[in-house]
Structure 1
Amino acid sequence: MSRRRADAPATHPRHERRGEARAPAVVATLTAITLYLALPQQLLVAPRYVLPALEVLLLLPLIAINPRRLTRQTKTFRILSLTLVLLIVISNLVALGILVHELLNAQVEDGRALLVAALQVWLTNVIAFGLAYWELDRGGPVSRTQLPRDQLPLADFRFSQDENDDAVGEVADGASGTSDWVPSLPDYLYVSVTNSTAFSPTDTMPLSTRAKLLMSVQSVSALLTSLLVIARAVSILH
């Protein structure tokens, strides 16, 4: 039998008010920080441990506020979480800019190190923008699970589940209007991966201006990494 909105409190985690698990976001953030730490020194704008240490300092109070599940949100929590994501995004874009500058204006001898650095920047790009989409869409991860749907801020992204209410039963049962589905971090990381590989939206469409701008910046940076940086590194290897 098809699940209905009236049954959602018993069948869907959103209405249990448990919130998203904290661990996936922590793992993604620490992965991005580790990738930055492993970059060559010439791609860093500050001493190697300065930015990672600052990012960890921003992450710790976020874990303290919501240690296991994301259920509480204060103004301070929101500012800290957005600042952390912004710092990761900007530091990685700066590293990409320096990498491109080094390729265009310097003699590059170590092609293998350059190729590894390019892959690190690309992967960090995927994680950073996935976290950014996750933090911004519909008010962020806390709002998406804790607020009634009619009180959610306007969506930045339209997922396929938001349009599947009139599909066949096994598809419609998982749709937003039927099961009260909302996206979680893996959904936004998937959006980020597809945007970084296809350089355009695939099954998830940006709705707001800020979402379109973010996806544009990500696409251009991924394109630079893929076509210019990696291509030049491979040519050096030969």
Structure 2
Amino acid sequence: MRGKQMHHPDSNDAEGVVVPSVAAFIGILLTGLLYLVLPPNVIIGPNWLLLVVEGVFVVPLVIDVMTAWDLSHTARRMLVLVPLGVSTLALVVGVALFILTLPTDKHATNLLRAAALLWSFNILVFALWYWEVDGGGPWKRHLSGHRAADFLFPQQAAGEHWAPHFLDYLFVAFTGATALSPADTY
């Protein structure tokens, strides 16, 4: 399940495009697992809810990647963007609830644990957004002749035929969340 060869009707590339997707699926799964272990004071509803919502949308994607089932590009994008939007909403609510509990929770370990989990959740959510939005999404980025649109990685600036993978966006999200400075992109 490393990736799927996809054909697009508007493409001049007859060979198809292989888009690596395993790391992104793991990233989606990790956001649900992080939400599962968040303290109850920073979540709304049951802690397993996000994992179930993600599962409902990701299972068809996994089936699409592993089999000959050929979802349209639009359907594939919706199956990713909807749970990503739900994850973003869960993150915003979690951070807001964390801020509201700061004055009342006097246990440093509880606060540090919640903050570290929310920070990790934030990095994963941003990495997934970067992966899905940059350059029109993972499928378009891996087309031959695609030019960088949003993030310009040094490998792309050097003229190499190179397309970023999910781990590259994870690094960009990590550096953005850690240093509040530009990452290794232009």
Note the residue ranges of structure 2 that are not aligned, 5 or more in a row: 1-13
Match of 2:149?
Answer: 155
Normalised to the residue count of structure 2, the TM-score between the two structures is: 0.82
Verify: 1:191 aligned to 2:172, yes or no: yes
Tell me the secondary structure at the aligned position of residue 66 of structure 2. Answer: coil
Verify: 1:56 aligned to 2:50, yes or no: no
Report the residue type matching 2:153 in the other structure. Answer: F
Q: CA deviation at 1:18?
A: 5.2
More helix by percentage:
1
Report the residue type matching 1:138 in the other structure. Answer: G
Q: CA deviation at 1:17?
A: 4.3
Residues 39 and 117, structure 1, Cα contact 8 Å, conserved in 2: yes
Residues 29 and 51, structure 2, Cα contact 8 Å, conserved in 1: no
Verify: 1:118 aligned to 2:112, yes or no: no
Q: 1:132 aligns with which of 129, 134, 138?
A: 129
Output the aligned Cα RMSD. 2.3
Structure 1 residues 51 and 38: alpha-carbon distance in aligned structure 2, compared to 1, 3 A threshold: same
Match of 1:34?
Answer: 33
Quote the Cα distance in structure 2 between the aligned partners of 1:188 and 1:74. Answer: 21
Quote the Cα distance in structure 2 between the aligned partners of 1:38 and 1:25. Answer: 20
Residues 22 and 67, structure 1, Cα contact 8 Å, conserved in 2: no
Q: CA deviation at 1:143?
A: 1.7
Tell me the secondary structure at the aligned position of residue 157 of structure 1. Answer: coil
Task: Using CA pairs under 8 Å that are at least 6 residues apart, name the structure with larger relative contact order, 1 or 2.
Answer: 1
Q: CA deviation at 1:30?
A: 1.2
Tell me the secondary structure at the aligned position of residue 88 of structure 2. Answer: helix
Residues 66 and 72, structure 1, Cα contact 8 Å, conserved in 2: no
Aligned length: 172
Tell me the secondary structure at the aligned position of residue 38 of structure 2. Answer: coil
How do 1:60-71 and structure 2 match up within 5 A?
A: 60-67=59-66
**Kindly, what percent of the aligned residue pairs are identical?**
32
Residues 43 and 94, structure 2, Cα contact 8 Å, conserved in 1: yes
Quote the Cα distance in structure 2 between the aligned partners of 1:55 and 1:31. Answer: 10
Note the residue ranges of structure 1 that are not aligned, 5 or more in a row: 1-14, 165-176, 206-238
Quote the Cα distance in structure 2 between the aligned partners of 1:184 and 1:16. Answer: 20
Tell me the secondary structure at the aligned position of residue 129 of structure 2. Answer: helix
Residues 151 and 185, structure 2, Cα contact 8 Å, conserved in 1: yes
Match of 2:11?
Answer: none
Whichever of the two has the greater Rg, that structure is 1
Normalised to the residue count of structure 1, the TM-score between the two structures is: 0.66
